[in-house]
Amino acid sequence: MIPVHGFEGAKVGVLGLGRSGLSAARALRDGGAIPVVWDDNAAARDKAEAEGFDTRDLQRAMDELSCLIVSPGIPHLYPTPNPVILAALQAGVPVDNDIGLFFQSLGVGWDMLDVTPKVIAITGSNGKSTTSALIHHLLEHVGRDSQLAGNIGRGVLDIDPLGEGSVVVLELSSYQTDLARSLTPDIAVFTNLSPDHLDRHAGLGGYFAAKRRLFAEGGPDRAIIGVDEVEGLFLAGQLSQGPTDDRVIRVSSGTKLTGPGWQVFARKGFLSEYRKGRQIASIDLRSVAGLPGAHNHQNACAAYAACRALGLAPRVIEAGLHSFAGLPHRSQIVGERGGVRFVNDSKATNVDAALKALQAFPRIRWVCGGLMKEGGLGALTPGLKNVAKAYVIGREADAFAMQLSGVETEVCISMERAVASAAAEAQDGEVVLLAPAAASFDQYDNFEKRGDDFMAQVNKALAAG
């Protein structure tokens, strides 16, 4: 655990007692603070009380608090602030989250270390989990002490104290970067941007602004920026002092990057690194089983750039790429029968992620649907040419299917029927792909549960022969 410093003897409110909230309360107490905690869920309060925490309505305790720590799922500004957060803002009580506490407390005791630990923080719309896990894997591959935390792996304050030359790899969502009062990574990565969480950020501009804080507030020593969207180009331009400034590493999937700076890009399945106008390395990604498709090649470029910024050699990174198995629910190969592959990409919860999944395979039996997000499905059009047929699930299946113009569709509602139909109709060389392009909450608690159901139905179909 990372004890939180700076609040010794002071009362600190903690709102929300899920993984990050309860972890923050423990770390505050370990650092000498007096946590006062609350969650609207009675079971969460009972769990906190069992650990000896003071559970109280925080609105009534606001005049006692030095700070309020908020869990990421609780809105602090849009669409409307949570009443407790609004009370804190009106009372002048600072509002922060566990990420801010982590960066505030991280460096205590580092003056005793010869090699200072590093923090790599990854944000973006799609690919940040795979990129984070891949960086962590590559570091472990070379024997570097590494911990994976934040929005993936362990809670950020639950990690072990950092030792000589160790690295923390943090996946950070827009909810986390938007509120953290302290953001000071050594290396920051921006994967890409596509519309998501727009209600929480009052539009795409607010969403991008939340991501941008990691770079503007954090001032990382090295920034790795995906430049396939205009927002990434803009961010790279803001951070760079000129064309030769190699503190910014530009990353692309599909576009050859030129110029005198530092670039890493993938084209036609090959990763290339250029620096000062010269090619430094090239890696064939086509045989890397854990990273199929152009979207995963972008993740590979970002992870490669982060590891190069830490001084790892290209050939060492290449070897590590081949041993990466991928993450569950992200282009995960579930099984194969009669030349038909079954792939679980349940994490493709928005249109951009689903489009990239559709573009990764030439002929697809597509399981899709769920709670549609703002903007509709029009952006999927470039990938629909790869779809042999769509099998639509979810409570909004009829409305979802109506937006898939020019594609044969079957309204299945349930995952069981969708997988059974797709498996029965799939031909040699085709892929049965779950890439929902929608949220899961109409039928499942989260995208993991949806992916688990897909895998269970696939295994059922495979067992039936």
Q: Within 13 Å and on the Cβ side, how many CA atoms surround 56? A: 15
User: Torsion-angle region of residue 437: left (phi > 0), alpha (psi -120 to 50) or beta?
Assistant: left
Sequence-distant (6+) residues with CB within 8 A of 185 are: 103, 119, 120, 121, 170, 214, 218, 220
Alpha-carbon span 412 to 417, nearest angstrom: 6
Alpha-carbon span 208 to 229, nearest angstrom: 12
Residue located via tokens 């898939």: 404
Query: 177 labelled as ligand-binding?
Result: no
Sequence-distant (6+) residues with CB within 8 A of 90 are: none
Strand ranges for 16-55 from DSSP E: 34-38, 54-55
3-state helix vs strand vs coil in the chain, percent to 5? 35, 20, 40
Give the containing element (helix H, strand E) for 393: strand 387-393
Alpha-carbon span 423 to 139, nearest angstrom: 39
Residue located via tokens 């920051």: 188
Alpha-carbon span 170 to 35, nearest angstrom: 25
Query: 256 labelled as ligand-binding?
Result: no
* Crossing angle for the helix pair 128-141 and 293-309, to the nearest 10 degrees: 50
Query: 218 labelled as ligand-binding?
Result: no
Query: 282 labelled as ligand-binding?
Result: no
Contact 358, 437 (CB under 8 A): no
Sequence-distant (6+) residues with CB within 8 A of 24 are: 4, 14, 35, 69, 97, 98, 101, 157
Structure tokens at 251: 């990353």
Query: 126 labelled as ligand-binding?
Result: yes
Query: 166 labelled as ligand-binding?
Result: no
CA-based nearest residue to 131, from 262, 349, 323, 301: 301
Query: 299 labelled as ligand-binding?
Result: no
Binding residues: 124-130
Binding residues for ATP: 124-130
